[in-house]
Amino acid sequence: MASTLEKFIHSLDLRALPRVLQIQSGIYCQGSVYEMFGNECSLSTGEVIKVIGFKINKLIASICENNEVSQSSDKVELPLNFPGLYKIVADKTPYVSIEEIARKVSIGPIRFGHPCFYSAKDIKLANFTIKHGEQISFNSVEEVHGKMAVNCVVVRNNQSHSFTLPLSQEGEFYECEDDQIYTLKEIAEWKIPKCRNRIVKLSNTLHMWDSSNPLPENFDGCLTLMPIYEVQAVMKSRKDIVRILSDLDVEVKDVTDCYDISSFLQPLSLEDIFERTSKEFPMVAEIMEVPSGSQNPYNLLSTGKEIVIHKKYQAARVLASEMRSDPSKRHYLIPMSYKGKFKRRPREFPTAYDLEIARSEKEHLHVVATKAFTSPHKELFSVSVGDQFLVHQCQTSEVLYEGRKKLIDVLACEQILSGSYKKVLLPMYMEGGFVEVIHDKKQYYLSEICKEFHLPFNVKVSVRDLSIEKDVLAAAPGLQFEEEITDSYLLISSASSPVESWEIPVYRLNMLVHLLSKDVQTVVPPVTRTTVEEVSEEQYYMLRRYENLTLHPPPRPPKKP
């Protein structure tokens, strides 16, 4: 049965991909040419395409009054990076089964992918009863005892109770109110159910308004968002990916069940390649699509190029940021093979607790106070701006507090006086400010810094890496090495001239390839090139999200009235 492309995409489950569609009719029949994102293709009546993916490309917004679209409201187009933070208005239309929720709502491993619903009636399980109106968090979908089910959690008396609900479970399920705020991009990726529109309320007014803004000035009401999808498809006559917007006036028919899907090229992302077993490497592939411009720092990568993918592995990188306070601060992933040298730069410490973390057995940490602190205990030292200290170790000390003796954590230091030293104790909770005094003039390789010092660590490039044509780190006024991470990489080389190999990141390079049935030599080229990879603000925070949880300073005691 034929339907519009828009209706088909709205009803399609991502897990059902790929699907083969036949063009039935539309403004693109009889071989007319359609151009989108620089790709020209002919969508003739009877043409067959394989849909391999789709994602929200933009949103059509209408102003809402009383949760209904205003009759006088014009529809405006909003890009996903449109500024502002938004609250979600709970959908009042119920879902009739767990299967409908799993099919229409995004459920995934991160916080955004944990939607919450409540049931209009009690649900009795084998050893658990979910009360009507009780908030249920849907965390993941998986197979349990041969049947698909949703892993769920309810919280009672601050205790979490986990259980599964089969997709066959029927009932009346409503979306819970959501107090979180989201960007438009986060809402598009996680919070718009299939076949439904989403009402959102602007949580913070836009900082700047100008005539190009499609929304009224000082607008702080509700919007109904309708998604327009970008459909990624493969055609038999082409070796690249075709992109079609879902609102095009084209009718299609799903012919997957009566078509040989293997007759199309099979595009694979780098994630798909990485999921293959180690025994399947090496392999030969042809590049179907690569990012353009600055997103593609590898000269080796171009559409139509044949490459050898030698192996997959994990490699260490240091995540670094420029030492500047303005918004244009850049972030980098630096490989351990970087051949430049660094000199130390002073670190800043907001608390005594940070001094304890940064101190090392190799040398005494020498700091100058930049903020005064008056101790509430006579046993502990009061700090003045300009005081200099050598930091020794953490210990406990007895202080008098509200007439009773109490043990607290303190930092043992030596105050540097003119010609002498004075032993002092600083409370670990002390909110002060300290700047490091550097005596070390030595130049270090990256691997030496990671081995000898605690991160974060401040440096400046003193000798650039001469093996790199343009060393972007050398131009930075200063760098802070924030943490050492382990990431996933593929080792590739040119199939035609394998004189050197390259490490390419699996999760930050949007590249598509298809595998070729060709013999491949198993010898890896002798020279392996790595690059200093600049990462976007979004990628930086995704990398930081998985860092080890840092211990927090001990709490300050209550202040005296």
CA-CA distance, 487 to 506, in Å (whole number)?
8
Per-residue burial over 373-392, b = 16 or more CB atoms within 10 Å of its CB, e = otherwise: bebebeebbebeeebebbbe
For each of the chain's 561 residues, which pLDDT tens digit applies? 788 888 888 888 777 888 999 888 755 433 444 444 444 456 778 888 889 888 888 899 988 877 666 655 678 888 888 888 889 999 999 999 999 999 899 888 777 889 999 999 999 988 889 999 999 999 999 888 888 999 999 999 888 999 999 999 999 999 999 988 888 888 998 899 988 889 999 887 555 556 567 777 777 788 999 998 888 888 876 777 888 888 888 889 999 888 888 788 888 889 989 988 888 899 999 998 887 655 555 667 888 889 999 999 999 999 999 998 777 789 999 999 999 999 999 999 988 888 888 888 778 899 999 999 888 888 888 899 999 999 998 888 888 877 788 888 889 999 999 889 999 999 888 877 899 999 989 999 999 999 888 888 999 999 999 888 888 999 898 999 999 999 899 999 988 877 888 999 998 888 889 998 887 777 777 788 888 999 988 788 777 755 444 444 455 554 443
Degrees, nearest 5: CA angle 396-399-400? 160
Predicted confidence at residue 39, as pLDDT, reads 47
447-451 long-range contacts, CB within 8 A, separation 24+: 447/336, 449/342, 449/481, 450/318, 450/336, 450/481, 450/484
Predicted confidence at residue 520, as pLDDT, reads 79
| Three-state DSSP state, 514 | strand
CA-CA distance, 465 to 418, in Å (whole number)?
42
With contact defined as beta carbons under 8 Å apart, do 459 and 449 qualify? yes
Predicted confidence at residue 242, as pLDDT, reads 83
State phi, psi for 270 to the nearest 5 degrees: -65, -30
CA-CA distance, 373 to 51, in Å (whole number)?
64
| 35 token code pair | 């151009």
| 179 token code pair | 């107090």
Q: Give one DSSP letter per residue of 387-445, joined into a string.
A: -EEEEEEEEEEEEEETTEEEEEEEEEEEEEETTEEEEEEEETT-EEEEEEPP-----B-
Predicted confidence at residue 297, as pLDDT, reads 54
CA-CA distance, 81 to 78, in Å (whole number)?
8
Report the sign of the C-alpha dihedral through residues 514, 518, 519, 521, in that order: negative
Write the single-letter amino acid at 100.
Answer: E
Residues 6+ away with beta carbon under 8 Å from 452: 360, 362, 444
Predicted confidence at residue 260, as pLDDT, reads 82
- Dihedral of the CA atoms 122, 124, 125, 129 (nearest 10)? 60
CA-CA distance, 43 to 207, in Å (whole number)?
44
CA distances from 276 to 237, 265, 267, 282, 395 (A): 28, 18, 14, 11, 51
Peptide bond into 83 cis (omega under 30): no
CA-CA distance, 434 to 416, in Å (whole number)?
14
Q: Do strands 222-235 and 198-202 pair parallel, antiparallel, or not at all (unpaired)?
A: antiparallel
Assign residue 61 a region (left: φ > 0; alpha: ψ between -120 and 50; beta: otherwise): beta
Kindly tell me the burial class for residue 442, based on how many C-beta atoms sit within 10 Å of its own C-beta (0-12, 13-18, 19 or more): exposed
CA-CA distance, 23 to 42, in Å (whole number)?
11
Residues 6+ away with beta carbon under 8 Å from 242: 36, 39, 41, 49, 232, 233, 234, 235
CA-CA distance, 176 to 134, in Å (whole number)?
9
CA-CA distance, 233 to 235, in Å (whole number)?
7
Predicted confidence at residue 72, as pLDDT, reads 58
Predicted confidence at residue 559, as pLDDT, reads 47
Degrees, nearest 5: CA angle 435-437-442? 130
For the chain, domains (ranges, CATH) are 3-58+229-263 (2.30.30), 73-217 (no CATH), 267-337+465-560 (no CATH), 348-436 (2.30.30.40)
| 163 token code pair | 């259980």
CA-CA distance, 326 to 345, in Å (whole number)?
19
Predicted confidence at residue 482, as pLDDT, reads 92
| Three-state DSSP state, 112 | helix
Write the single-letter amino acid at 91.
Answer: D
Residues 6+ away with beta carbon under 8 Å from 175: 90, 91, 115, 116, 117
Predicted confidence at residue 212, as pLDDT, reads 65
